[in-house]
Amino acid sequence: MAKLTLNPPPTWQKAVELPVPGGTASVTFTFRRMDLPQLKEFIAKLGEMTDVDAVAAVVTGWNLDDILDADAIATLCTTYPGSGFAILREYMRESMGRPFELKRIADLE
């Protein structure tokens, strides 16, 4: 169980199951912590963001051999089309402490 603190660290890690042909692959991401006002602002802007921009806004690291940068995120999201959605869904679920109904990124307003 995680320890509650009123001054949480700026990042946290979580393994995310990404859809790949034939099943899923687990990748551990380091996520940027957002407080409630930041989350509300992020959610409000999601409809205008690409998968790459949205993932880049919340991910600060990963356990892949590739260096994390915009090009690598774009390659991930292009090669494995469901990955951006899976990453953001898990980020919101962990941030909100409950399941978060996330539609396709392009459909969000």
Running DSSP on this structure, what letter comes out for residue 26? E
Running DSSP on this structure, what letter comes out for residue 67? P
When pLDDT is cut at 50, 70 and 90, the band that residue 96 belongs to is confident
Q: Nearest-CA neighbor of 16 among 30, 1, 29, 33?
A: 29
Q: Is the pLDDT of residue 2 over 80?
A: no
d(CA 102, CA 88): 8
What pLDDT shows up at residue 5?
86
pTM to 2 decimal places:
0.86
Tokens of 18: 């990404």
Per-residue pLDDT averaged across 65-94, rounded?
95
Q: Is the pLDDT of residue 104 over 50?
A: no
